[in-house]
Structure 1
């Protein structure tokens, strides 16, 4: 029986589970949204909320506690400068888990875990990615047309001879 055994084991030993959760929390703080399995999302949600609460406190001790848990200094800076101020008037409930369906390879139930209020930043990132893709597509199309024109120019004199 699992009476009073809270938390998720995630099929890993203690050190591996802690490393996976630290990595997930760091990625969420850096990217505002990640896709993972539902169980990992549910396991990482309270940890993300604790990190944001530390960020809202904002003192040196809170920064050191966050730095001890998060994997990169950039994530700590982003937590205190960007993420935590977003939730100044909010008491908890900083994240959302949205189910996305089964993964193709092993049919694991997948979900997005995202920070609330980050929709504008995520939309800007997606728009920037779309613009970059369109620019690359145009450049590739130009190169293809130039190659076709060069090939056609090479073939034309040979057929006359």
Structure 2
């Protein structure tokens, strides 16, 4: 019986799912906030919080454990020098998932996942409307 056992498979095979989570975690630690689907954001929350908890103890063993999951050296250095020390007093809950709208192409529910406490402003998405489709207004100069 699978009572209270939770692991989202995301419709992927094991190696593909782990590769996806490693890449999403790398981008989360690089940018501080990413937008993805709800299911991926929820699984990424579990995955990345375990990495941050491990990184809070700066030892050779923890660096090797996280190095197996985060392959980018710059992101690894950023995680140990800036992100993990900022959460040293927090016992958990390093990330938050914010539900957004639905994706335009397939109506998949989107969410933003971000690191708590790091002030990363949302980048305003500019509307991709052609200037030619806008009605021309005469300049008053």
Which TM-score applies when normalising by structure 2? 0.82
Where does structure 2 lack aligned partners over 5 or more consecutive residues?
125-141
What's 1:72 paired with?
A: 72
Q: Larger Cα Rg: Structure 1 or Structure 2?
A: 1
Q: Deviations over 1:66-101 (max 9, x none)?
A: 111113111110100110011111100000000011
What's 1:148 paired with?
A: none
Change (3 A) 1:107 1:85: same
Change (3 A) 1:4 1:116: closer
CA distance in 2, matches of 1:4, 1:84: 29
What's 2:85 paired with?
A: 85
The alpha-carbon deviation at position 4 of structure 1 amounts to 5.3
CA distance in 2, matches of 1:91, 1:23: 25
The alignment of Structure 1 onto Structure 2 pairs a total of residues equal to 124
What's 2:57 paired with?
A: 57
Greater than 3 Å deviation, 4+ residue runs? 1-5
What's 1:29 paired with?
A: 29
Structure richer in helix, relative to its length: 1
Pick 1 or 2: higher relative contact order, CA cutoff 8 A, min separation 6: 2
Where does structure 1 lack aligned partners over 5 or more consecutive residues?
128-161
What's 1:105 paired with?
A: 105
| Root mean square deviation of aligned Cα | 1.8
What's 1:154 paired with?
A: none
Which TM-score applies when normalising by structure 1? 0.72
CA distance in 2, matches of 1:58, 1:98: 30
The alpha-carbon deviation at position 6 of structure 1 amounts to 2.0
